[in-house]
Amino acid sequence: MKTCLTAIISSLMIFSPMAYADKWSDQFPHIKATGDIPGDCSYEKMSKKNYKGKTLKINTHAIPVMGEPTALHAEQFEKLTGAKVEVTHTPAGDLYSKAMVPFQAGQAPYDIVFGFSNFINDWKRYLAPVPKKYMNSPEMKDVTKSHMGVSSWDGTMYQYPVDGDRHYLKYRKDVIDNPEMQKKYKADTGKELKVPTTWKEYGEMAKYFNGWDWDGDGEKEYGSAEVMKKDDLMFAAFFSRSVAYAKNPRTPGGFFFDLETMKPNINNPGFVEALTDWVEATKYVPPGGTNFGLGDEIGSFGGGQTLFSFSWDDAFIAAMQDDSPIKNKVGAAPLPGANKVWNRVSNNWENQYNQAPYIVWGWAVGVAKKSKVKDMAFDYLCFFSNGANHQADLAIGRFGVNPFKNSDFDPNIYINSMGWDPEIANSYTKTLLDMEKSNNRVFPLRVPGVFEFTSAVATGTSKALAGQLSPQEALDEVAKEWEAIVSRVGKKAVQDAYAVGVKMEDNKL
């Protein structure tokens, strides 16, 4: 009898989470793959909160990227807690000003503001630090060191981690690994068809596979889909191409500027080489590709239109969704490197292989210091990124939610709940994990007036892509503008802020 009772109790204990899972996933089909996952902000825990009569106001991105999960989790949060949640959707380019205008006027029309992690320096004085109880939660302890760093400033976390971002290479595995294509490529070019490890190889392969039907679907395919539209995150794509040539692990002390002098590095031969490659890339993007924003890039690669792509996870996830024509036909790899890297100290090229991951800025969210419902706001954010929501969000490319927790790098998540091919799931998680381990990473520029700096890069590089200026002329113009911005903002202010980022890049933080 005792044995029988123990068995019953054990079974109940083992299956109790499953019981929750069934209960909550019945009401909220979004989490049907996992059910509720126990944690500080699980569905179960949130259902015990009572925010009836309270209103939470959120400013987030337009639907779908980040805007859709914000609205979805708002609706779930309302049902669970009784709160009223008002969600405003704003285009990416206006997120900064939509929060900054009321911030500077001393108002808080939104309790929660979504933006990008590189806004942190300008926004931090208007945001409430993340309270200790959330900092100490098991979910927060699971966030990777890089993303804790990206969300924090000098040890204080101002942005609640909901997303993890980095740029990496995506490629059509069914083409690159295809022996027939390899033979054909070798015969035509004398070179091996393989996952490109340099930008030059990337360009050669992209050019070869540009403008013909290489997958036999009756439509023309192209070489590469990239974010090239002016002001639409294009500067991040340019930095992704620049890190290989300009981030030299033997010259610490600044990728964007020389930290000591604050002289911009942006027009040194490393960056110019990257821009020259990028101008060349305009020849192997799909028609209209030089006007592709992030959404176009996701649609183009995710829809099977191109051989390569590089940027955030979204295009890869879109390609791996069940409704994708190229599910389990794509691969992930680190950003290509280069066979030479610029040494800004000796002013010479070093002829050796270099590769550097770009932990690019990503979606970030904070709670306004002047909000009257801070507790509820942090609970919402904690709920947004709880285990069940996070895993479900990861599986939907258009949501723009990407791995930022150590547990996200377990390939079984993708194999079991998303139906990924094990080899692809392994290469994906290994690519992301290796970036976390790299000692030659570049982090986003996070200095006062960051938008002025990035806007100057977008303008300069887009002039080069449009043929209005040569790469050197374009980047000289950017460097001149950066010097003017540093002088306007104040050298000391920019230098102090930049020093924090340099510490991260030089692995001292």
Partner 1 sequence: MNFKHKYFFLFPGLFVLIGILIFPIIFVVRLSLSGWNSYNPGLDYIGLENYIRLFTDDPRFWESFFRLSFLSVTTVILQYVIGFALAHMVWKDIKFKRFFRVLFLVPMMTTPVIMTVIWRTFFHESLGPVNDMLSIFGVAPKWLTDPVIAKFTVIIVEVWQWTPFMFLLLLAGLLSLPKEPFLAAAIDGASPVRKFIYVTFPLMAPISIGAIIIRLIEASKIMDTVYVLTSGGPGTSTETSSFYIFIKGLREFQMGYAASMSFTYLIIMIISLTIIAKVLTKLLLKE
- For binding to partner 1 (CB under 8 A), which residues are involved? 93-94, 96-97, 100, 104, 122, 229-232, 286-291, 300, 305, 448-449, 451-452, 455, 459, 462-469, 484, 488-489, 493
How far apart CA 423 and CA 415 sit, in angstroms, is 9
How far apart CA 256 and CA 267 sit, in angstroms, is 10
Asked if 453 and 122 touch (Cβ cutoff 8 Å), the reply is no
Q: Which is nearer to partner 1, 141 or 488 (CB)?
A: 488
How far apart CA 60 and CA 71 sit, in angstroms, is 9
Strand runs labelled E in 233-360: 257-258, 263-264, 306-311, 330-333, 341-343, 348-350
Q: Which two tokens stand for residue 379?
A: 């609970």
Q: Which is nearer to partner 1, 12 or 499 (CB)?
A: 499
Q: Which is nearer to partner 1, 146 or 300 (CB)?
A: 300
How far apart CA 242 and CA 266 sit, in angstroms, is 9
**Residue 107 CB, nearest approach to partner 1 (Å):** 13
How far apart CA 307 and CA 286 sit, in angstroms, is 11
**Residue 297 CB, nearest approach to partner 1 (Å):** 12
User: How wide is the angle at C-alpha 153 spanned by C-alphas 152 and 158, nearest 5°?
Assistant: 50
Asked if 300 and 220 touch (Cβ cutoff 8 Å), the reply is no
Phi, psi dihedrals of residue 439, rounded to the nearest 5°: -105, 10
**Residue 212 CB, nearest approach to partner 1 (Å):** 14
**Residue 466 CB, nearest approach to partner 1 (Å):** 3
Q: How far is CA 397 from CA 66, 319, 386, in A?
A: 10, 8, 18
Q: Which is nearer to partner 1, 94 or 213 (CB)?
A: 94
Q: Report the DSSP beta bridge partners of residue 306.
A: 222
**Residue 42 CB, nearest approach to partner 1 (Å):** 38
Q: Which is nearer to partner 1, 64 or 448 (CB)?
A: 448
**Residue 234 CB, nearest approach to partner 1 (Å):** 9
Q: For residue 213, which amino acid is it? A: D
Q: Which is nearer to partner 1, 404 or 453 (CB)?
A: 453
Q: Which two tokens stand for residue 436?
A: 């976390």
Q: Which is nearer to partner 1, 121 or 146 (CB)?
A: 121
**Residue 480 CB, nearest approach to partner 1 (Å):** 10
User: Reduced to 3 states, what is the DSSP secondary structure of residue 183?
Assistant: helix
How far apart CA 141 and CA 402 sit, in angstroms, is 17
Q: Which is nearer to partner 1, 59 or 354 (CB)?
A: 59
Q: Which is nearer to partner 1, 288 or 422 (CB)?
A: 288
How far apart CA 342 and CA 348 sit, in angstroms, is 6
How far apart CA 114 and CA 70 sit, in angstroms, is 9
Rg (CA), the chain: 23
Q: Which is nearer to partner 1, 403 or 444 (CB)?
A: 444
**Residue 265 CB, nearest approach to partner 1 (Å):** 21
Q: For residue 140, which amino acid is it? A: M
**Residue 500 CB, nearest approach to partner 1 (Å):** 15
Alpha-helix residue ranges (DSSP H) falling in 282-336: 294-302, 314-319
**Residue 449 CB, nearest approach to partner 1 (Å):** 5
